[in-house]
Amino acid sequence: MRIRVVGGGLAGPEAALTAARHGCDVDLYEMRAMVDGKPRLTPAHQTTDFGELVCSNSLKSESPNTAPWLLKQEMRRAGSALLKIADKTAVPAGHALAVDRVEFSRMISEAIAAEPHIRVVREEVVSLAPDPAYALTILATGPLTSDSLSREIERLTGSGHLAFYDSISPIVDAESIDMNRVYMAARWDKGTADYINCPMNREEFDVFLDALLAAEAAEAKEWEKLDYFEGCLPIEVLARRGRDTLRFGPMKPVGLRDPRTGKTPWAVVQLRKENVRADSYNLVGFQNHLKFGEQARVLRLIPGLENAHFLRYGQIHRNTYIQAPLLLDECLRLKTRVPPISPLRPESSDHPILFAGQLSGVEGYTESIATGMLAGFYAAAIVRGEEPVPVPRPTALGSLVHYITHADPKNFQPANITFDLLEPLEEELRKKVRDKKERHRIVCERALAAFDAWWGAIPHPLRNFAH
Ligand SMILES: Cc1cc2nc3c(=O)[nH]c(=O)nc-3n(C[C@H](O)[C@H](O)[C@H](O)COP(=O)(O)OP(=O)(O)OC[C@H]3O[C@@H](n4cnc5c(N)ncnc54)[C@H](O)[C@@H]3O)c2cc1C
């Protein structure tokens, strides 16, 4: 029985090569193709090549004991095919792993062509109806999944479980918030006082608003120009609607009396915990489309955030991704059974569908390759009749999957790998080790030990795949 992999970007080729190297026969579908001498592309891709990097050529940091480094180290230990190619095609880029994009794509195409277990099909997949030719399907069609397939995924997952753009609020490192300038409170004192509130007087608000109105927007490509939902407008768009619009929207002060003064501020920015450890907070309702440098400048005008260290900036861009926390298990499998195609064919099917890459709810080149690699492993195990063993939580790979499968579904946004997603040190150790770099080093050491234990315990032939 063959495996169907849909998508020839980053996650798809990695999944196909991984599964093939475990002896599985794979059909790799890619809709980009030469048709009548002309390339048929997506709005972001410029070639029909496998593994095209659509924007920057960086696979992020190689500095030891950073989260992107850790993820890549685990992938190297697992023998990631695309990462090996990235290493071979690296160009000098300081502490980052950057690649020669043309060589990178060429070598991926070469590896696929040289793999006897992979058959390439240059076709758009529009139906996910169970096909007896396939044991399972891996969907890796990325942020620009074709319209027909998007409709089919919605049919499978239920409406409302597929998002079409990211609307990301900035995230700030808790340690960089000046707690003397802010206060904890819940609006109208309902529930526990979990929010950090950054109060502004009228003068501070005016300065902030003027800076926001003058800030430079990130450039949007023609196809990225979005019709924003009214309920999710960027702050700069709201600001342009009137000087008070933000004070009746995300900066609404009502019900947020400052306990220190007994007064309600003119405007308030609320920060919500990103995780239970409360070591990072997002600026509620502050999605925006400003250049990152501009965001840093404007957002540091917010009282309490003068020295803020931003872990993530706000963004709004086109992106197709599923509600992974509701839909996927820890082996990236769709939890629900494939529903019947029509009332005339009422049988449903046990045909497993795995998701990988940007469509599964991760963000970034390396994260897409990483989930492609995992999907390839899991698919190979399923085809062999085994129950796949999920990569453990303390690893970077496991943390990424843990995030997409356990995040709050209501506020789910795709994420890059950061320390924020990794398991924190125990409270006692945290208190003992004050130096952040040292804490990160310990987390990395623990992650790699957990990875090695998982890898070492996986039955043959997976183990032989390394290096
Ligand atoms: C404009 C843009 C810029 C980005 N820039 C960066 C960046 O600089 N750095 C970064 O880390 N991340 C970036 N990303 C995010 C992400 O890392 C990339 O999109 C990455 O390529 C995702 O990998 P993927 O394999 O999930 O999807 P893709 O690489 O997009 O691959 C999906 C493939 O599926 C094919 N496909 C779609 N529908 C079908 C279908 N129905 N049948 C068959 N094939 C189909 C597509 O043609 C495509 O080749 C960017 C995303 C976008 C949209």
Each residue of 166-202: pLDDT tens digit?
777 899 999 999 999 999 998 998 878 889 999 999 9
Helix axes 436-457, 67-77, angle to 10 degrees: 20
Judge whether residue 282 has pLDDT over 50. Answer: yes
Helix (H) or strand (E) holding 454: helix 436-457
Q: How confident is the model at residue 467 (pLDDT cuts 50, 70, 90)?
A: very low
Q: How confident is the model at residue 95 (pLDDT cuts 50, 70, 90)?
A: confident
Ligand 1 atom showing the smallest separation from residue 44 Cα? 1
Considering the chain, tell me which residue range(s) the CATH 2.40.30.260 domain(s) occupy: 171-313
Closest CA to 289 of 358, 361, 240, 347: 240
Q: How confident is the model at residue 466 (pLDDT cuts 50, 70, 90)?
A: very low
Mean pLDDT of the chain: 90
Judge whether residue 68 has pLDDT over 80. Answer: yes
CATH class of 171-313: mainly beta
Q: Whose CA is nearest to atom 6 of ligand 1?
A: 55
Which pLDDT score is estimated for 343?
53
Q: Whose CA is nearest to atom 16 of ligand 1?
A: 364
Which pLDDT score is estimated for 362?
96
Q: Whose CA is nearest to atom 5 of ligand 1?
A: 55
Ligand 1 atom showing the smallest separation from residue 50 Cα? 49
What CA–CA distance (Å, rounded) separates 155 from 14? 27
What CA–CA distance (Å, rounded) separates 124 from 344? 25
CB of 351 within 6 A of ligand 1: the answer is no
What CA–CA distance (Å, rounded) separates 96 from 406? 29
For residue 26, the cross-strand partners are 3, 118
Judge whether residue 229 has pLDDT over 60. Answer: no
Judge whether residue 158 has pLDDT over 50. Answer: yes
Helix (H) or strand (E) holding 101: helix 101-113
CB of 398 within 6 A of ligand 1: the answer is no
Residues in Cβ contact with 396 at an 8 Å cutoff, skipping those fewer than 6 apart: 67, 70, 71, 74, 417, 421, 422, 447
Fold (topology level) of 2-165+319-465? FAD/NAD(P)-binding domain (3.50.50)
CB of 44 within 6 A of ligand 1: the answer is yes
Which pLDDT score is estimated for 340?
52
Considering the chain, tell me which residue range(s) the CATH 3.50.50.60 domain(s) occupy: 2-165+319-465
Range 342-367 average pLDDT: 81
Q: What pTM does this model have?
A: 0.81
Q: Which of 4, 10, 108 to mutate to test the pocket of ligand 1 (most atoms within 8 A of CB)?
A: 10
Q: Which of 226, 368, 417 to mutate to test the pocket of ligand 1 (most atoms within 8 A of CB)?
A: 368
410 vs 400, more confident: 400
Range 320-340 average pLDDT: 87
